[in-house]
Amino acid sequence: MNKVFSLIAVLFVLSSCTAVKEYEKEYINDPEMKLSAKTAERYEVTFQVYREAAAGANGGKTGGGCGCN
């Protein structure tokens, strides 16, 4: 439970950082800075889900399909 509270505390601290204004987001808005996986990366994620036991926590699909080939 302490770990959960620690995580919430860390999130609170992070979100209370000084906000970067819209006009200052030139670097953050660079296409390579996106916080999601790239479109063409989806097939790699699919084979990794098939060949490895771990899955999830990457913003992608979290179920469906047998993954049995």
Partner 1 sequence: MKKYLFIFALLSAYQSFAQQKDSTATFKKRVLEATEVDFLISYYKQDGVHSAVSGGMGSEKLTDLASNIVVSMPMSADAILTVDAGLSAYTSASSSNINPFNSSGASGDDDDDDKAGTEPYGTPWLASSGASAQDALASVVINYSHSSDDRNFIWNADVAFSNEYDYTSIGFGGGVAKLFNQKNTELSLKANVYLDQWRPILPTELHEYDKYGSSFLNNGYFSGVTVYDQNGLASNAYLPSQFKDIQSVNRNSYSLSFSFSQILTKKLQLSLFFDVLQQEGLLSTPYHRIYFADKANYYIGQTQYIPVYETTENVGVYRLADDIERLPKSRFKLPIGVRLNYYINETFKLRTYYRYYTDNWGISAHTANIEVPIKLNDNFTVYPMYRYYTQTESKYFAPFETHVSTEKYYTSDYDLSTFSANQYGIGATYVDIFTKAHIWKFGLKNIDFRYNHYDRSDTLSADIVSLAFKFVMDK
Name the residues that contact partner 1, by CB under 8 A.
7, 11, 14-15, 17, 19-22, 24-28, 30-35, 38-44, 46-48, 50-59, 62-66, 68-69
- Minimum CB distance to partner 1 smaller for 1 or for 31: 31
Q: How far is the CB of 11 from partner 1 (least distance, A)?
A: 6
Structure-token pair, residue 27: 């670097």
Q: How far is the CB of 38 from partner 1 (least distance, A)?
A: 6
CB contact burial 5-25 (16+ within 10 A = b; e otherwise): eeeeeeeeeeeeeeeeeeeee
- Minimum CB distance to partner 1 smaller for 2 or for 55: 55
Cα Rg of the chain, angstroms? 17
For the chain, give the number of residues. Answer: 69
